[in-house]
Amino acid sequence: MQIARTVRELRDWLDGRRAAFVPTMGALHEGHLALIRHAESLGEPVVVSIFVNPTQFGPNEDFSRYPRTLETDLAACEEIGADLVFTPAAEEIYPPGQPPMEIALPPVATEPGLEDAHRPGHFRGVCQVVARLFDLVEPAVAIFGEKDYQQLLVIRAMVKQEQPRWQGLTVTGLPTVRDPDGLAMSSRNRYLDPEQRDRALGLARALQAAHAAQKPDTAEAIMIETLRAHDLAIDYAVVRDSETLMPVGDFSRPTRALIAARLDDVRLIDNQAMTVWT
């Protein structure tokens, strides 16, 4: 496995080849490893990036304490068979004197009541860093997890609207990986003490309890009740159209239940596809 710390090293290694690309912020867990395994199955060189992107964190968020476990992450990538890990400094991604390129946010990024309402500017930072990484890696396929479902839709929409900038790029989403008790794997789970982790199970339990509901408003009420029973502060617990994230009145087309909740100073998200009733 090779390690590239600069853009020059990355490009020299790629030498015009198109890769299967897994962008991460490190603190790797089994969810990330599932993405890398899928990348390996595609028959392309596998590139993993590890970069904690400052532009997607708000002023009162957890950038300074976000888990940074580079040596452990590199060992995991080597063991699983990644071909190259790109671990740039911020100056490689955002060269001094060059402001980050602005990307027009797709409508799905600012759909009312979701991430933009609680983390203003977050998706602007996500689009900046992902666009920069796509420009540098020029991948054939980029692989993300569905756990960050709105992010996945934002990136797909960004790629579509920016064509032909990343000609031929496919953005693939893989299902959320969960611990045996149902908790969605997240780098931020490392923040949780045992009592908080028990409460965090409220997200998965809320989704499970809402799954059999036959109306979106019933599902939302069930999720809210379950989250409150676990003493979670709710940012949102909603059912939305699976493609546009707009509100829906029934389950006649594919929908997604989405949750964001806080345990003290830890914010977690989760989601699931809902049953289509015809």
Same domain, 200 and 150: no
Mean pLDDT to the nearest integer, 73-91: 98
Domain stop point among 118, 145, 174:
174
Alpha carbons 167 and 155: distance in angstroms, whole number: 14
Average pLDDT, the chain: 97
Same domain, 192 and 229: yes
Residue 102: per-residue pLDDT: 82
Same domain, 8 and 142: yes
pLDDT in tens, 128-153: 999 999 999 999 999 999 999 999 99
CATH number for the domain spanning 24: value is 3.40.50.620
Q: Quick one: how far is CA 271 from the chain centroid?
A: 12
Same domain, 202 and 170: no
Alpha carbons 108 and 277: distance in angstroms, whole number: 24
Same domain, 29 and 134: yes
Residue 250 included in any domain: yes
Structural domain of residue 240, as residue ranges?
187-272
**Residue 29 annotated among the catalytic residues of the structure:** no
Residue 278: per-residue pLDDT: 64
Same domain, 147 and 34: yes
| Of 29-38, 56-65, 227-236, the least confident | 56-65
pLDDT band with cut points at 50, 70 and 90 for residue 106: very high
Contacts of 44 (CB under 8 A, 6+ apart): 17, 18, 19, 20, 140, 141
Task: Give the global pTM.
Answer: 0.97
Domain stop point among 119, 144, 174:
174
Same domain, 169 and 237: no
Instruction: Tell me the two tokens of residue 263.
Output: 């345990």
Same domain, 140 and 7: yes
- Catalytic hit among 32, 118, 122, 211: 32
- Whether 123 has a pLDDT exceeding 80, the answer reads yes
Same domain, 11 and 120: yes
CATH number for the domain spanning 234: value is 3.30.1300.10
- Whether 277 has a pLDDT exceeding 80, the answer reads no
Mean pLDDT to the nearest integer, 168-197: 97
Residue 101: per-residue pLDDT: 81
| Of 34-43, 83-92, 94-103, the least confident | 94-103
Domain stop point among 174, 200, 221:
174
Report how many domains make up the chain: 2
Residue found under tokens 């992902």:
130
